[in-house]
């Protein structure tokens, strides 16, 4: 049998899916499982989205569509950018694709040659590493532990950018839920201005999921001269509860948006017509669902943080966005649970799942082996007992 391409030895299935699969298996065996593992929003978009799909079906052309996306969707996304203070983007600056994951992959293909250096903070969203590995880019990681609130410091960025081709930044963050303040973004933007040879990709897909009135801030608004190097990545998956619809966006310099169009013309051709109709309705229709969900997630964040605060030794910066909490649990390493040694984050997540039926993702999946990720999108009647079980687990460590 001929061999697979060498790059496939570097491609790994998602570590998050592995935990989710194990939780699913235990559930199928009849165990009472509470899953805090996958980052799925757990709600549906409003009825107007489904109505738009029904309407679109009645006039579906059945034909190939625009590689960039239909004008109605480009315009709806441009309006969404404007609502975030990002004005002056036209249709030539934007493009659509099959989710943010696809857009990030396209961007890496368009901007990186093999052995080019990509810089990003750790903890990072797992796929960043996978994309870099598949494309044979060199990764330069910037460690941002809990002791610095999982946030990148300007001096760290300054030291890491010489020789780099691309800086990848995620705000609000998956897995930490941390959100950069206006001043923090401005300080990082000042650094970026000093490194004119670096592309800046901002994975902002949680930009509408921000709590405590802190707001979403970005480099372009902080330093407009960065506009010709900054690319924003966005998605309907989280904000609108539409992960399976697979709609993602980029906004940036014309040449980059055009590169996305060229790659689309070779890879996917277009996002399907009925999906585009759903996307236009989500972006332009009533925003009650995302607004209500944001309030709900902020209340759930508090439930999780209150429960974690009662666990002595655990350190947890206070997240202000997305739907994740990322406690540093390293104090537990070296202890045992019912005779099972907890040497690291993977042992801890396995023991927690086996003993208490609660699924969390080991921090090492995100490049931070001191932590674990709790995704709190499940209904509140599961969240509360799930957090109680986590408290019991830690109290039983010896
Ligand atoms: N970026 C981040 C930070 C994410 O958390 C996710 C989804 N987990 C994505 C991108 C991919 O989103 P999409 O569903 O649009 O592909």
Which among 234, 267, 284 is the end of a domain?
A: 284
What pLDDT band is residue 9 in, cutting at 50, 70 and 90?
A: confident
Do 248 and 295 have their domain in common?
no
Q: Which domain holds residue 372?
A: 6-44+289-395
Same structural domain, 279 and 339 = no
Q: Is residue 349 part of a domain?
A: yes
Q: What is the pLDDT at residue 323?
A: 98
Per the structure, the count of domains in the chain is: 2
pLDDT at 134: 85
In a domain, 1, yes or no: no
Q: If you average pLDDT over residues 367-379, what whole number do you get?
A: 96
pLDDT band at 15 (very low <50, low <70, confident <90, very high): low
pLDDT band at 16 (very low <50, low <70, confident <90, very high): confident
Query: How many angstroms does the Cα of residue 135 sit away from the middle of ligand 1?
Result: 19
Q: ipTM beyond 0.85?
A: yes
State the SS3 of the chain. Answer: CCCCCHHHHCCCCCHHHHHHHHHHHHHHCCCCCEECCCCCCCCCCCHHHHHHHHHHHHCCCCCCCCCCCCHHHHHHHHHHHHHCCCCCCCHHHEEEECHHHHHHHHHHHHHCCCCCEEEEEECCCHHHHHHHHHCCCEEEEEECCHHHCCCCCHHHHHHHCCCCCEEEEECCCCCCCCCCCHHHHHHHHHHHHCCCCCEEEEECCCCCCECCCCCCCCHHHHCHHHCCCEEEEEECCCCCCCHHHCCEEEECCHHHHHHHHHHHHHHCCCCCHHHHHHHHHHHHCCCHHHHHHHHHHHHHHHHHHHHHHCCCCCECCCCCECCEECCECHHHCCEEECCEEECCHHHHHHHHHHHHCEECEEHHHHCCCCEEEEECCCCHHHHHHHHHHHHHHHHCEC
Are 68 and 159 in a shared domain? yes
Model pLDDT for residues 146-179, shown as the tens digit of each residue: 999 999 999 999 999 999 999 999 999 999 999 9
Q: Rounded to whole angstroms, what are the CA distances from 192 to 30, 188, 189, 230?
A: 52, 6, 5, 10
For the entire predicted model, the pTM comes to 0.96
In ligand 1, the atom with minimum distance to the C-alpha of 235 is 15
> Which has the higher per-residue pLDDT, 126 or 17?
126
Task: Say how many Å lie between the CA of residue 393 and the centre of ligand 1.
Answer: 30
Could you tell me if 82 and 174 lie in one domain? Answer: yes
217-223 mean pLDDT: 98
232 pocket-lining for ligand 1 (C-beta < 6 Å) = no
User: For position 22, what pLDDT does the model report?
Assistant: 87
- Is ligand 1 within 6 A of the CB of residue 17? no
Query: 203 CB less than 6 Å from ligand 1?
Result: yes
**Same domain (yes/no): 34, 76:** no
Please tell me the residue having the least CA distance from ligand 1 atom 3. Answer: 174
Tell me if 38 CB under 6 Å of ligand 1.
no
Average pLDDT of every residue of the chain: 96
- Does 135 have pLDDT greater than 80? yes
Mean pLDDT of 280-285: 98
| Domain identity same for 154 and 261 | yes
Average pLDDT estimate for 184-199: 98
pLDDT, residue 11, reads 76
142 burial class (0-12, 13-18, 19+ CB within 10 angstroms)?
middle
Mean pLDDT of 30-47: 93
Predicted local distance difference test score (pLDDT) of residue 65: 96
Per-residue confidence at 10, pLDDT binned at 50, 70, 90?
Answer: confident
Last residue of a domain, one of 284, 312, 344: 284
- Can you tell me which atom of ligand 1 is nearest the CA of 125? 3
**Which atom of ligand 1 has the smallest separation from the CA of 248?**
15
Sequence-distant (≥ 6) Cβ neighbours of residue 161 within 8 angstroms: 119, 167, 191, 192, 195, 198
- Band of residue 14 on the pLDDT scale cut at 50, 70, 90: low
Judge if 80 and 13 occupy the same domain.
no
Q: What CATH number does residue 38 fall under? A: 3.90.1150.10
Confidence band, pLDDT 50/70/90 cuts, at residue 12: confident
pLDDT band at 279 (very low <50, low <70, confident <90, very high): very high
Are 19 and 124 in the same domain? Answer: no
| Per-residue pLDDT reduced to its tens digit, 78-125 | 999 999 999 999 999 999 999 999 999 999 999 999 999 999 999 999
CATH code, 146: 3.40.640.10
Where does a domain end: 251, 284, 317? 284
In this predicted structure, what is the pLDDT of residue 39? Answer: 85
Q: Ligand 1: distance of its center to the CA of 160 in Å?
A: 25
Question: Per the domain annotation, does 320 fall within a domain?
Answer: yes
Spacing, Cα 101 to ligand 1 middle (Å):
6
Same domain, 170 and 115: yes
């Amino acid at each position: 049998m001929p061999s697979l391409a060498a790059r496939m030895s570097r491609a790994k299935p998602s570590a998050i899916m592995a935990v989710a699969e194990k939780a699913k298996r235990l559930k199928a065996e009849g165990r009472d499982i509470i899953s805090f593992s996958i980052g799925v929003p757990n709600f549906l978009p409003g009825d107007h989205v489904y109505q738009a799909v029904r309407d679109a079906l009645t006039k579906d052309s059945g034909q190939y569509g625009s590689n960039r996306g239909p004008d109605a969707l480009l315009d709806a996304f441009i309006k969404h950018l404007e609502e975030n203070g990002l004005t002056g983007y036209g249709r030539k600056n934007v493009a659509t694709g099959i989710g943010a994951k696809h857009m990030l992959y396209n961007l890496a293909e368009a901007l990186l040659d093999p052995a080019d250096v990509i810089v990003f903070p750790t903890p990072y969203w797992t796929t960043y590493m996978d994309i870099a590995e598949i494309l044979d880019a060199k990764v330069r990681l910037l460690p941002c532990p809990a002791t610095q609130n999982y946030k990148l410091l300007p001096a760290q960025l300054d030291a890491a950018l010489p020789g780099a081709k691309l800086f990848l930044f995620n705000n609000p963050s998956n897995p930490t839920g941390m959100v950069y303040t206006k001043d923090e973004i401005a300080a990082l933007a000042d650094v970026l201005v000093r490194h004119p040879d670096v592309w800046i990709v901002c994975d902002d897909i949680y930009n509408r999921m921000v709590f405590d009135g802190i707001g979403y801030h970005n480099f372009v608004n902080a330093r407009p001269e960065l506009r010709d190097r900054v690319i924003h990545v966005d998605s309907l998956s989280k904000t609108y509860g539409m992960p399976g619809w697979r709609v993602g966006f980029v906004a940036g310099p014309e040449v980059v948006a055009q590169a996305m169009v060229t790659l689309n013309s070779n890879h996917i051709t277009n996002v399907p017509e009925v999906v585009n109709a759903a996307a236009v309705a989500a972006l332009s229709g009533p925003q009650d669902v995302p607004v209500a969900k944001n309030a709900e997630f902020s209340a759930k964040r508090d439930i999780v943080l209150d429960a974690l605060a009662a666990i002595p030794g655990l350190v947890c910066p206070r997240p202000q966005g997305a739907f994740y909490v990322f406690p540093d649990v390293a104090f537990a390493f070296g202890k045992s649970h019912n005779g099972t040694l907890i040497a690291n984050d993977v042992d801890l997540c396995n023991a927690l799942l086996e003993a208490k039926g609660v699924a969390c993702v080991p921090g090492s999946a995100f490049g931070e082996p001191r932590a674990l990720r709790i995704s709190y999108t499940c209904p509140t009647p599961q969240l509360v007992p799930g957090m109680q079980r986590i408290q019991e687990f830690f109290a039983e460590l010896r």
